[in-house]
């Protein structure tokens, strides 16, 4: 694997074109302009001082440039991961304390290791496990949770309540305590971000909002009016140190790390694939899992927190013409320079500006259009999405991951337990005969052709027998042969084979012969191993439905 990585890096360096350099530099400056204020804002979600968000924005892009396969992806602080991180660490330590930072470092390292293990084990397919409606519901719940949390700095007071609905209730009951200068500034900056997004999307809105906020504080004396400011930031890069974490904390951290690794990867990989398709190249999902792990290791070693693929910054990189991961390297270097030499102006940045930036960015997480589509196309999918959102808002972000996974498994089992099936007819053409469930298919008297569109396993074996009994009972004439089209039955387990044998005996007692067509793969293997192929009779196993029907006709 190390040799493959070295070969990949060498190939990318060798294939780099000189004309790409100006574009990558410009794109890197654009990404830094957006990533710097967003990193500070997202640190607020996670419960850290603003400079920690900058740490988490500097080191991961450097790691991704060495390991990742996407040319445009920017790995940075992510709002969803920040929200889950805060939920994971809140029971263990107070936000902003040294212990809180140590726990966050260990959590990032754990996520890094889990992602690398997942990539080495070729678990990149996990991105396909959570259905899009369930993932949409989960992200919608996170978006609403973050927005509720940002109402406090936007309104200028703090609450004690935890949980989405309790927090909203307390905020509503204390709305009279709103600090007018703070909410006025925050609302104005939010409107500014909205206008820039609509009128001039290429302009880095978060940077403009931050600069306007600093200027407003300096010229209008908003700090003296009680508007909360970020305050002095420590200049310089973080110094790595060993985190002080108790062994008793590791179980809670590991549970949170597992959920965050799944969420970070599942939210990152669609972005990776989307920009790869847009720019005409191919990515490796398992290598991306490993790259995400390397980025989180870098974040942890750099005294940051868990990171993932950052949609907004990736969009900026691509829109600015970025061609390679040199874009991320340039952005990281620029942010490091700011952290080393230009922290003084950031002290006057109002926290309301960060709240406005977070709320505007998080609105992009809420996917109402998809919800509307689910409602029109599949009410069950819409219901699962809504339940997932309510689960996140009521039982919390971490249990919400468990709920999302449980719903995905439940949906999968439901589809597999009650699959589609059909009684087929034959259509004869000049080129041959084929079976179809469409009305033009002709039924052969005495021959019932039945297709089961799923594997035959322990959880659907009884339903299979029930369906066969029903189609036999509903046949126009009692069938002499039941031809099972097994093309879609990819797997047959022991319970399934026993159900098939019981059905064969039951049909035989009624004078109906069971025959099988298009048996293949593990289904055919189990037929042979169980002896069921012999009991059915080799002469009753056919390569195609047409051959089985022809054999019946000839008799």
Do the bridges between strand 421-429 and strand 447-452 make them parallel or antiparallel, or are there none, so unpaired?
Answer: antiparallel
- Closest by CA to 314, choosing from 53, 64, 54, is 64
The token duo for 192 is 């500014």
Q: State residue 361's pLDDT score.
A: 80
Q: What is the DSSP letter of 240?
A: P
Q: How far apart are the first and last CA of the chain?
A: 61
- Residue 25 CB-half CA count within 13 A: 5
Tell me what pLDDT residue 7 has. 60
**Predicted local distance difference test score (pLDDT) of residue 494:** 94
Model pLDDT, residue 1: 53
Q: What is the pLDDT at residue 129? A: 64
Whether 308 and 75 have beta carbons less than 8 Å apart is answered as: yes
Gap between the Cα atoms of 392 and 399, Å rounded: 7
Any idea where the domains of the chain sit in the sequence? 20-158+166-240+257-411, 421-554
CATH assignment, 421-554: 3.30.750.24
Question: If residue 432 lies in a helix (H) or strand (E), which one and from where to where?
Answer: strand 432-436
Q: Is the dihedral of CA 210, 214, 220, 226 positive or negative?
A: positive
Q: How far apart are CA 294 and CA 269, in angstroms?
A: 15
- Quickly count helices (H) and strands (E) in the chain: 22, 8
> How would you classify the pairing of strands 308-309 and 75-76?
antiparallel
Give phi and psi for 424, each to the nearest 5: -105, 155
Calculate the alpha carbon distances from 424 to 441, 500, 517, 545 in Å.
Answer: 7, 19, 13, 10
DSSP 8-state symbol, 405: H
Long-range contacts of 212-219 (CB under 8 A, 24+ apart): 212/353, 213/185, 213/189, 213/349, 213/350, 213/352, 213/353, 214/345, 214/346, 214/348, 214/349, 214/350, 216/185, 216/350, 217/348, 217/349, 217/350, 218/348
Q: What is the pLDDT along the chain (555 residues), one digit of tens a residue?
A: 555 655 666 666 677 788 889 989 988 998 998 899 999 989 988 999 999 999 999 999 999 999 999 999 999 998 888 988 998 898 899 998 999 999 999 999 999 999 999 999 888 777 666 677 887 888 788 888 888 888 888 998 888 777 788 889 999 999 999 999 999 999 999 999 999 988 988 788 888 899 999 999 999 999 889 898 888 888 888 888 888 888 888 888 998 898 889 888 988 887 888 788 778 888 888 999 999 999 999 999 999 999 999 887 888 888 788 889 999 999 999 999 999 988 888 889 899 998 888 888 888 778 888 899 989 988 888 988 898 889 888 887 767 767 777 877 788 788 888 999 999 988 887 666 778 888 777 888 999 999 999 999 999 999 999 999 999 999 888 899 999 999 999 999 999 999 999 999 999 999 999 999 999 999 999 999 999 999 999 999 999 998 999 999 887
CA distance 527 to 535: 10
Whole-angstrom Cα distance, residue 480 to residue 507? 9
Whole-model pTM?
A: 0.74
Q: What's the number of CA atoms in the CB half-sphere (13 Å) around residue 159?
A: 25
What whole-number distance in Å separates Cα of residue 442 and Cα of residue 553? 14
Q: How far apart are CA 515 and CA 504, in angstroms?
A: 9
Amino acid 11: pLDDT = 64
72 within 8 A of 314, measured Cβ to Cβ: yes
Q: Scanning the structure block, which residue is given the tokens 């060993």?
A: 242
Q: Check residue 419 and give its pLDDT.
A: 92
Residue written as token pair 């972005």: 271
């Amino acid at each position: 694997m190390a040799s493959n990585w070295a070969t990949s890096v060498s190939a990318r360096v060798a294939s780099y074109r000189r004309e790409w350099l100006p574009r990558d530099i410009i794109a890197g400056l654009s990404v830094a302009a957006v990533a710097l204020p967003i990193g500070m804002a997202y640190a607020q979600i996670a419960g850290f001082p603003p400079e920690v968000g900058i740490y988490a924005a500097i080191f991961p892009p450097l790691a991704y440039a060495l390991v990742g396969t996407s040319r445009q992806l920017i790995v940075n602080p992510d709002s969803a991961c920040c929200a889950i991180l805060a939920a994971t660490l809140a029971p263990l330590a107070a936000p902003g304390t040294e212990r809180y930072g140590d726990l966050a470092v260990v959590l990032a390292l754990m996520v890094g290791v889990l992602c690398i293990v997942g990539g080495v084990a070729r678990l990149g397919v996990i991105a396909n496990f959570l259905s899009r409606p369930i993932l949409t519901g989960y992200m919608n719940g996170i978006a609403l949770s973050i927005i509720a949390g940002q109402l406090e700095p936007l309104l200028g007071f703090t609450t004690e309540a935890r949980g989405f609905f309790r927090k909203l209730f307390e905020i509503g009951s204390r709305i009279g305590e709103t600090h007018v200068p703070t909410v006025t500034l925050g609302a104005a900056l939010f409107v500014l971000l909205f206008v820039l997004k609509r009128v001039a999307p290429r302009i880095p809105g978060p940077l403009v909002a931050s600069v306007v906020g600093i200027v407003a504080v300096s010229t209008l004396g908003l700090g003296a009016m009680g508007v909360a400011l970020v305050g002095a930031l420590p200049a310089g890069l973080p110094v790595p140190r060993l985190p002080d974490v108790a062994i008793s904390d590791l179980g809670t951290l590991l549970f949170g790390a597992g959920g965050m690794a799944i969420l970070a990867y599942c939210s990152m990989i669609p972005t990776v694939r989307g920009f790869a398709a847009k720019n005409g190249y191919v990515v490796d999902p398992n290598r991306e899992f490993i790259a995400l792990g390397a980025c989180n290791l870098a974040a942890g070693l750099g005294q940051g927190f868990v990171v993932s693929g950052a949609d907004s910054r990736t969009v900026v990189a691509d829109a600015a013409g970025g061609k390679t991961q040199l874009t991320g390297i340039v952005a990281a270097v620029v942010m490091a320079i700011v952290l080393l030499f230009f922290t003084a102006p950031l002290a006057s940045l109002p926290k309301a500006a960060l709240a406005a930036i977070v709320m505007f960015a998080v609105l992009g997480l809420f996917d109402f259009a998809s919800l509307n589509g689910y409602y029109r196309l599949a009410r069950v999918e819409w219901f699962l999405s809504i339940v997932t959102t309510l689960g996140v808002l009521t039982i919390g972000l971490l249990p919400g991951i468990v709920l999302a996974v449980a719903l995905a498994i439940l949906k999968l089992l439901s589809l597999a337990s009650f699959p589609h099936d059909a009684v087929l007819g034959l259509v004869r053409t000049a080129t041959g005969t084929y079976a179809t469930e469409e009305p033009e298919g002709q039924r052969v008297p005495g021959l019932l052709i039945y297709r089961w569109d799923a594997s035959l396993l322990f959880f659907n074996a009884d339903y299979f027998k029930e369906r066969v009994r029903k189609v036999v009972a509903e046949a126009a004439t009692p069938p002499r042969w039941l031809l099972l089209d097994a093309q879609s039955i990819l797997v047959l387990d022991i319970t399934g084979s026993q159900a098939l044998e019981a059905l064969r005996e039951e049909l035989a007692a009624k004078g109906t012969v069971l025959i099988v067509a298009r048996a293949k793969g593990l289904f055919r293997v189990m037929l042979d191993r169980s002896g069921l192929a012999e009991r059915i009779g080799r002469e009753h196993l056919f390569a195609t439905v047409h051959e089985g029907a022809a054999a019946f006709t000839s008799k």
